[in-house]
Amino acid sequence: MVAADNFTVECLPPVPESPITKSAPNDRGMMHQEFLAKLGLPLGELWRLGPFARRMRQLDRWHAMLVVKSLNIISGTGSPANATALL
């Protein structure tokens, strides 16, 4: 999984010399197709990571297992993350 606090998980506009442009020229440097369709890698966008980081700092812990279960919807294009961090 890849999670970020921005809305695209990737750099916009795409960096022209990115290795993604060489491996997937039809995707024009965008990683969404690479991650989702080709690798089956879930993307988490607009996550509020500040509260999680503050809690980890309080506990002086920097490793956790993050479990994300998307909704079981045929032909769905998005789902709430339903994320749980196990410390």
5-45 per-position pLDDT tens digit: 877 777 777 777 877 777 777 777 777 777 887 888 878 88
Q: Which residues contact 29 (CB under 8 A, 6 or more apart)?
A: 13, 14, 15, 16, 18, 20, 21
- pLDDT tens digits, 40-80: 887 888 888 889 899 999 999 999 998 887 777 777 767 77
pLDDT at position 63 is: 92
Cβ atoms within 10 A of the Cβ of 18, count? 15
Alpha helices in the chain (DSSP H): 19-23, 32, 49-59
Please give the model's pTM, rounded to 2 decimal places.
0.58
Q: Residue 6: CA atoms inside 13 Å, Cβ hemisphere, count?
A: 5
